[in-house]
Chains A and B, each alone.
Chain A
Amino acid sequence: MSLVHEWALAESIILYIKQQGYVNIKKLRVCIGVLQSIDKEILNYALRELAEEYGVKLDKVELVDEYPLLKCNVCGFMWSINPSEISDDVREAIHFIPEAIYAYYKCPRCGSLDYSIVKGRGISEISVDVHE
């Protein structure tokens, strides 16, 4: 399995868990923004490899999709983007830096560049269940 960009994301998560003092985890739950087109299989693999490397016992990993929601700060319009409908090169750019989206997309209603990614950007929520 090629160790790509997801490895860096996984390492951030494992470092964060360790910082919180969790080393014996029953379940790790991570919400992943679909906009970033993260390969869940690779992320799962990287999380397990890195957990072992950092001395974190990790039983179960749950990766949950979060669909993108964008909101225009000018006209208030809310919309979603399906990454599978984005061209390969733009999707790849957004994969690495989701904010690259601002170079390619405007508000579909008023054309403003002043909009927010309300949810579904990238890794958002990290929660753990620990062994007693």
Chain B
Amino acid sequence: MFMSDPRLLRALKTLSKIKRVYLVLSNKGGVGKSTIATLIAFYASSRGVPSGLLDLDFVNPSTHVILGLRVEDIKYIEEKGVIPHRIGLLSYFTIVAYTRDLPLALSGENARNALRELLSIVNWDNLELLLIDTPPGISDEQLELIYALRGVIKPLLITTPSRLAWHSVSKLIELLRGAGYEELYLVENMGNGELRYLVEKQGVKYLGYVPYIKQIEDSIGDLNKLLQLNVRANIDELVSKLLV
């Protein structure tokens, strides 16, 4: 694919080496996108699968909080680029290591530049699975990823069964179809499977549901507690389907 920005060429080269790259998307905020992305990546790594989690929410990054990492704990290694932080078999990258988790307000062009820079310098070696967590909505960051990384990424949509969330995600499905994506995946969060029919009717692969996690607040930031969540079977099933 012809690229106008050199950084995108290296980003494509690096991401192409990973077997499965899922772009985690939701038009609506508060559907649990970061939590699900983090749990999938972390659970996969705990099963012995070399996995990655890239937090591209520059304005409101939260995956490091879920993983219980203090900013000063996040360490990258410089070697022909930047090697992500490691937690066992999980490779993890977030911008907070550079911003010290201070408020960061980026306009569209700045977000685009930060995204390109980051994608081009991070080396994701020998991964089976990479989850890219994005901010809610469809703005410059998501558009960039959707169009520039076609052929490398697969969209993974997260929604709740709420009618408002479904209304939003339906538009996202339409947008992704228009961008040429035929294979779309969806996870129903805080649900019980009621969306399956609607999702499959749209030709989207329904991966499963995750019920509302009562103990999630108490588990955030504690890797042992995260591994003992009562939705482990649901997340493990998602991991298996994403690895197919």
Contact = CB atoms under 8 A, between A and B. Distances in A.
Interface of A: 2-5, 7-9, 11-13, 15-16, 19, 73, 93-94, 96-100, 102-104, 113-114, 116-117, 121-123, 126
Interface stretch (B95-103, B127-135, B176-184, B203-211): B95-103
A23 to B, nearest CB: 16
Contacts of A96: 82, 98, 117, 121
Nearest to B109: A116
B42 to A, nearest CB: 24
Interface string B62-80: 0000000000000000111
Contact size range, B: 20 to 34
10 contacts: A5-B121, A8-B80, A8-B81, A96-B82, A99-B58, A99-B113, A99-B117, A102-B104, A103-B99, A116-B107
B225 interface: no
Contacts of B79: 3-4
A129 to B, nearest CB: 18
A7 B95 CA distance: 20
Contact of B121 (A8, A15, A93, A102): A8
Interface of B: 2-3, 6-7, 9-10, 13, 58, 78-82, 95, 98-100, 102-107, 109-111, 113-114, 117-118, 120-121, 123
